[in-house]
Amino acid sequence: MTIPATTCQVSKKHVLLSEILAVTSVMRKNSRWASGAHTLTARDSALARDLGLRRSTPSTDIQKNGRLSQEADLMGGFQQLKRTIWDVDDIEALPLPGLIGPFFALVRSPLSNGPITSAALSALHTFFVCDLISPTSISLEPALVELSSTVSHCKFEASDSSGDEVVLLKIMTVIHDCIVTSGVGAFLGDVEICEMLETVLTTACQMRLSEILRRSAESTMVSIVRTIFGRLHALNPTAEEAMLLLNEEEPQHGEISMSVSANVTDAGNFPLQASEGVPSSTQQDAVSLEDPERPASPEVEGPSQALSPPRPYGLPALLELLRVLVNILDPNDQVHTDSTRLTALGILNAAVETSGTVMGDYPSLSALILDPGCKYLFQLARSDNSFVLQAALRTITTVFQTMRKHLKLQQELYLAFSIDRLAAPPQSKLISSKRNNPTSPRPGTPATGTPILGPVDTELELDKGSPVPSRPPVQPARGDTRDLMLETLSQLCRHPSSMVDLYVNYDCDINCENLFERLIEFLTKGVYPWQYSSASDTQQLHSQYLCLDLLLAFVNDMTARAEGRSEPWASDFILPDSLMQDKSRKKLVLTGAARFNSKPKIGIAFLEENKLIYSDLSPEVSRTRSLAIFLKSCTRLDKRLLGDYISKPDNLELLKEFLGLFDFKDKPIADAMREMLESFRLPGESQQINRITETFASIYFASGPAEIKTEDAVYVLAYSVIMLNTDLHNPQIRKRMTIEDYKRNLRGVNGGTNFSPEYLQSIYDSIRKREIVMPEEHTGQLGFEYAWKELLARSRQSGPFLMCNSALFDLDMFKTVWKPLISAIAYAFISFDDDYVIQRAISGFRQCATLAGHFHLPDVFDFVVVSLSQATSLLSENLPTQVPNYPVVEVEGQSVTVSSLSVKFGTNFKGQLAAVVLFNIVNGNGNALREGWTQIFEMFQNLFMHSLLPTRMLQMEDFLGGVTMIPLRGGQHSRPAPRSDGGLLSALSSYLMTPYGASSENLVPEATDTEVESTMCTIDCITSCRLDELYAQTIQLDSEALVAAIRALEALAHERTITKWKQESDELTTAFNTSSAGDGTFTLPYDPASVFLLETMVSITCQTSRYIEDLWPILFEHLSALLSASTHYSVLLIERAVVALLRLCLILAQKKTLRDQVYVSLDLIAGLPPIVANSVAEQIVAGVTLILQNRDIVSSQTEWNLVFAALRSTTSHPEAARSTFDLVLSFVTDGQSQWMTPDNFNGLITILDEFANSAGQSIMVPQRGRRVPSQPPPNTPPIERGRRAIDILYDMKRFIAPFAESTGLQTGQVWRQYCLPLALSLGKQSTNPSRLVRHTAISQLQRLLLGPRFVYDETDHGQAEEIFNSIIFPLIDELLKPQVQQFDPQGISETRLRASALLCKAFMHFEVRENRTKSDIRILWIEILDLLDRLINAGKTEQLYEAVSESLKNVVLVMNAANILVPPSQEDQRDEHQRTLWTATQARLERFLPGFLIEVIPTPQLQLPPSTPVPDSTSAVPAAAPSTA
């Protein structure tokens, strides 16, 4: 469906005739117009001339009735028009001025009234609508000139006010038609546009007109402004500016100017009378359609009076309108009211919205906006009128949005001002400035709270307490004003590149404030509540939301840039590296300035250290000049302190250099003084002022000023300027100095002559019109003007505002603000209840985490995790070691533990949100986490204690039975007794094996439906957190993150074990005033959390063996601390520590660089107390067995000794001993598993000896009255292992010869390293309480000693003696002890019998052989006899007596045959040894076997000399007592 065109469908001739009829009909309704309707005197002269007739002069009556003639002429004009077009078919062929001229004449005529003028204006409106006035009309330009003049000079008699306002409304409509809706607006000239705009603007600003009319006029003005300023996009800026300059020099179409009269009076009713035909509504009110100060445009009487066509309007008209609008905004202009300014603000905003982006291309327009436009707008931003404030802020926002690149310093000013007003007031009282100091020639000007414009950084806490240039207090914005300003600030800073632009243009500019840092600081503080009296809760919450929204927008924009949605840095911009260098230098300058403001010497030392001064030294630049250059150029110095410093006597050279930097050439002394005194504050002491003035006089006089003859004259004149400035501008001085007074005071000081009156007059006028405002007195309107002047001066050097959504600076920006930023987001997340805000905060957390990972800032990621973890409520400051009996219910076939945490967390929706967000953030970003792992694992620990972790995280791995669950509750603390049955974990028999089982000892409370529902909510939340995924991801972490995770686990575990034991033992010691707590008697109760942390730590480490070198020191420190004090902790914890250590050793064994740590660990295990070692024996042997599967792991005797030392601790455990024995047996058994080396030979002897000892330890001493067999059956495992150990020991002799051959040892060395240890072990076990082991050992010992493979040096009698002294003699001595007999009273006699036989056979084998070396055996033989004596007397059994006698008989006979034991004869040929041996032997034998020797070796009866005494055994054998090994 096609929408029909809105153009007029009737002929234009019909339209024209209809409008003529309509207008004349209205005219005829008026009696005066009716009488003149039939009079055509206006055409008499023309008719007479056409007919060649002479017309007489009109009579006096007719002249007097000129008004009637004028009315007739106006009416006649329409009659003539009708006649003209009556016979014309196409009226568009006629000139347009002739067609609409009568309507113009009627509108301009003061004789017409409101209805008539209204009808004429309606006709003009119809002509525009029906295209009678169109771009194709003939003579359009003259018609438009006439139209402009007509509507601008409309005159009619006043009637009623409403009717008159209808006329004005129709004027607005015609103007709108001309400029906006029709196509002829582009043909208007600058003068015509200005005339029309002035008409509309005047109407909009006329306060006595009705609200409807004014608003209509304002709406029309806005529409027109949007249209005409839209032309700027099509114009050529260069050509327009050139034409503007040309037009200023030679105006071609009249003066282009507009004005709005400001004689505003109160609104009232329109007076009915008119003055000269002009309605009082437009003549006497404040705004009129004609400017009385400007000559009216020449009225066009008809088409014959056509003007030359003007150039289409352009820049001149727009510039003039902008000038008028800006001038209206001046808040100090009392002519205009706030209502007028409100209207101007709306119009100006429309203009900037339309063409602000191209205004900067037109220097004339942008100059108006920069100054005074921004100046007035900023002042209006402090208005108390909320409507003006809102309009001003909107306009400011529009200006910055469209012209930001031209308004760098103006934006700095506005943002700093806004932050000052919005920031919370300081807590401490503001120190009032010192004023009216009697020693200063310039008292301060009272402050009125105007914001300072200079760049000040108060956020830099470089030296606390250091004074910085003070910012005058700004009245904080409150209530609606605060909301409005904050909304405006938010609107300004919502552009994606806003924060980057602030950072680049201000924070990286040494002469600007750190606006980015200040803004973020304000916004982060703004998220927290600020209590002030006039703020409602709703307003404050809205303010907090706005601040948070801006922060989150900043984070979102930065995240977008990090993801690649950024812009490249323009090639014509300053290099980013250069900007960052400026930023670094700025930081140093600020630090140096702050220290200078605190103490100048310290500041100068800092500046020199950082090469901010004295780095530019040259023959032209001395140290003093270098310092002066810095002091003059640095805007961050305290001007008061600077003035005081440079005017000190010690710094006179510095003062000269400082003032020498000013260029006073051709400057009047007032301006020179002004420039100098604005760089520092004049000190208060007269001597310092004098010093400054003298130096100034010297330097100024050297510049060659006009009319000054001497330096002293400059000195006096300078003082006079200071005094004059004080006198003219101090509000406390009532009588001001006149020019005559000033001249009189300076009489004769110019080298004895007077200054010229003109010279002094110029000084006087300069000071009177423009006060010299000293630093820190820049307050009130005067201060604002000064600061604005400084801003304009700086803006000429500041360069353009750089705009680029670049990611080059994001890292530095984020590093600067991340901590308060994340804290603010965390506060918002915890404190606010709005779902949208919470959702935004969650996004903010995620994006901060993303940025932390992108920039590799683990501290940031940690802070995010810490902030979120605090919001989860899953952290517990004091987690108990004992888990209460929580009820367990079945829900959908699943056992659910209803704990206190599950119920509480299930009702904490925000905590659940925080948990899900936290773990979703950490999932996949673990490498970015460092310290935050502590919170992660602390939450794991808490969830574990309340049975809320996934099953995978509740398990502990073992060598024996795979995987089991960590028990939540433990039994008694006593150590478990050895068990005979096999199992998974030896230490778990006294513990509840399931973590979710309820104890039957305590009553379990019932769970309510509500608690179960809350628990299910908690379980769902934990499931959403995907904790098992996070746990699985830990094994994929990089080294640094993994080390941090393990350190966090170790710290938590250490706190629950070592630290806790120390604390509680100290508390016990203090409570009972005893040290018993520290002596090993105090044991911590079972803590499941400590086991969980240990298992988690070890599990992660075992799965990341590639980083074992980094992780091992952390784990070993914890494990060694536990095992070194193993009796202080629960059985299960120590068991898990041992398992952990051995599991780690398996990994260490694969690393050559860490193999030594395996033996450090084994040494730690070997040192466990027996009761502890017994409880973990199965784990030890299983671990060591796995370690030894790598045969390259053991390569020395020391290492083997450590291995066997660890294994020895397992021999007393029934299950572990079996595994250990099988391992040892595999070493010595022939086959692939055989592993016998010279290094492990002695170690094997030791552990086999330990097995034999274990067999003896299983023997119980028989109790009286109890029928308990003293000797268990031989097939008992310990006895059987002991017996087999003895057999293995004997069998090991077969390895001695190969080892001796492979090592190349001498016989004595072989004896010492292999044979002797073997024999010693068998000798030791020959006294074992187990009969089977004992008899087997003594038999194998006899086989070893008397066998063919026993290696010893026959030439070394000491070795033979050592066999007796270290093996056989101690053996028999031990068998003779009563305690040995107690274990086996029945079998000990047989053992003694075997021992006696061994003794005798060994003596014959080693000492009585034929090929033996000659040696003195007397002492040895006597010892043997003594032992046989003790054996016979100890047992006193017939069997033993006979056995000993028989063995002794054999020995004696052999000794006799070997000519060792020789009886005396008649011819006694024995040597001394033989005689002594026989005598001693006979004496000993007679004690326990009387007559035995004579019976065995008959001897002749000899008469002994009476003097020969019988030698005593103790005297004959001084070393009778055998030594024990």
Q: Point out which residues pair with 964 in neighbouring strands.
A: 956
**Residue 307: other Cβ atoms inside 10 A:** 17
Opening angle at CA 798, ends 797 and 804, nearest 5: 145
1262 contact partners, CB below 8 Å, separation of at least 6: 1268, 1270, 1382, 1385
Q: Is the pLDDT of residue 1411 over 80?
A: no
Nearest to 445 by CA among 709, 786, 820: 786
- Amino acid identity of residue 348, one-letter, is L
Report phi then psi at 1470, rounded to 5: -70, 150
Average pLDDT, the chain: 79
DSSP 8-class letter at 651: G
* Coil vs helix vs strand at 616: coil
Q: What is 793-812 written as a DSSP string?
A: HHHHHH-PPP----STTHHH
The pLDDT tens digits for 1254-1264 are 888 877 766 55
Q: How far apart are CA 1421 and CA 1406, in angstroms?
A: 12
The pLDDT tens digits for 1173-1219 are 888 888 888 888 888 888 888 888 888 888 988 888 888 888 888 88
- First CA to last CA distance, the chain: 124
pLDDT score of 271: 30
The pLDDT tens digits for 363-387 are 888 888 888 888 889 888 888 888 8
The stretch 243-251 carries a mean pLDDT of 71
| Whole-number Cα distances in Å, 163 to 160, 216, 823, 1238 | 5, 15, 65, 130
* Coil vs helix vs strand at 897: strand
pLDDT band at residue 787, thresholds of 50, 70 and 90? confident
The stretch 193-209 carries a mean pLDDT of 85
* Coil vs helix vs strand at 1366: helix
pLDDT band at residue 820, thresholds of 50, 70 and 90? very high
Q: Is the pLDDT of residue 71 over 90?
A: no
Report phi then psi at 957, rounded to 5: -95, 150
pLDDT band at residue 153, thresholds of 50, 70 and 90? confident
The pLDDT tens digits for 899-937 are 888 899 899 888 898 899 888 888 888 888 888 899 999
Cβ pair 986, 1215 in contact under 8 A: yes
* Coil vs helix vs strand at 1384: coil
The pLDDT tens digits for 284-338 are 333 334 443 333 333 333 333 444 455 678 888 888 888 999 998 888 888 888 8
pLDDT band at residue 987, thresholds of 50, 70 and 90? very low
DSSP 8-class letter at 1315: I
| Whole-number Cα distances in Å, 936 to 696, 918, 922, 1046 | 69, 9, 9, 12
The stretch 772-785 carries a mean pLDDT of 67
DSSP 8-class letter at 262: -
1009 contact partners, CB below 8 Å, separation of at least 6: none
Q: What is 392-438 written as a DSSP string?
A: HHHHHHHHHHHHGGG-HHHHHHHHHHHHHHHSPPPSSPPPPPP---T
* Coil vs helix vs strand at 915: helix
The stretch 72-79 carries a mean pLDDT of 80
- Amino acid identity of residue 1520, one-letter, is A
pLDDT band at residue 428, thresholds of 50, 70 and 90? very low
The pLDDT tens digits for 89-144 are 788 888 888 888 888 888 888 877 878 888 888 888 888 888 888 888 888 888 88
Look at 489-493, 623-627, 1230-1234 and tell me which has the smallest mean pLDDT. Answer: 1230-1234
Q: How far apart are CA 365 and CA 373, in angstroms?
A: 10
Q: What is 717-752 written as a DSSP string?
A: HHHHHHHHHHHHH-TT--SPPPHHHHHHHTTTTBTT
Q: Point out which residues pair with 189 in neighbouring strands.
A: 312
Give me the numbers of helices (H) and strands (E) for the chain, helices first please.
67, 4
Nearest to 400 by CA among 409, 391, 388: 409
Q: Is the pLDDT of residue 873 over 90?
A: no
Rg (CA), the chain: 58
Q: What is 935-1000 written as a DSSP string?
A: HHHHHHHHHHHTT-S-GGGGEEEETTTEEEEPPSS---SSPPPP-SS--S-GGGTTS-S-TTPPPS
Cβ pair 1033, 1105 in contact under 8 A: no
Q: How far apart are CA 1097 and CA 755, in angstroms?
A: 94
Q: How far apart are CA 185 and CA 189, in angstroms?
A: 9
Block residue for tokens 């009211």: 337
For helices 1197-1208 and 1177-1187, give the axis angle rounded to 10 degrees.
150
* Coil vs helix vs strand at 530: coil
DSSP 8-class letter at 260: -
Q: Which two tokens stand for residue 831?
A: 């404190």
Specify the higher pLDDT residue, 615 or 1320. 1320
The pLDDT tens digits for 507-541 are 888 888 889 999 999 999 989 887 665 567 788 88
Percent of the chain clearing pLDDT 70 (strictly above): 82
pLDDT band at residue 453, thresholds of 50, 70 and 90? very low
* Coil vs helix vs strand at 1252: helix
**Residue 757: other Cβ atoms inside 10 A:** 12
Q: How far apart are CA 310 and CA 297, in angstroms?
A: 14
Q: Is the pLDDT of residue 1428 over 90?
A: no
The stretch 1461-1481 carries a mean pLDDT of 82
Q: Which two tokens stand for residue 404?
A: 């930001």
Q: How far apart are CA 550 and CA 553, in angstroms?
A: 5
302 contact partners, CB below 8 Å, separation of at least 6: 97, 98, 101, 105
| Whole-number Cα distances in Å, 122 to 19, 192, 858, 1043, 1044 | 8, 20, 75, 88, 85
Block residue for tokens 């059985």: 1131
Q: Where are the alpha helices (DSSP H) in 1176-1240?
A: 1177-1187, 1197-1208, 1214-1228
Q: How far apart are CA 710 and CA 966, in angstroms?
A: 101
The stretch 417-421 carries a mean pLDDT of 87
**Most confident of the following: 462-466, 553-557, 638-642, 997-1001:** 553-557
pLDDT score of 1429: 85
pLDDT score of 1233: 78
776 contact partners, CB below 8 Å, separation of at least 6: 433, 444, 469, 470, 639, 640, 681
Cβ pair 1462, 1499 in contact under 8 A: no
pLDDT score of 1197: 86
What's the pTM value of the predicted model, to 2 decimals?
0.74
For helices 1214-1228 and 1277-1291, give the axis angle rounded to 10 degrees.
20
pLDDT score of 1502: 52
Cβ pair 985, 1135 in contact under 8 A: yes
pLDDT score of 1389: 84
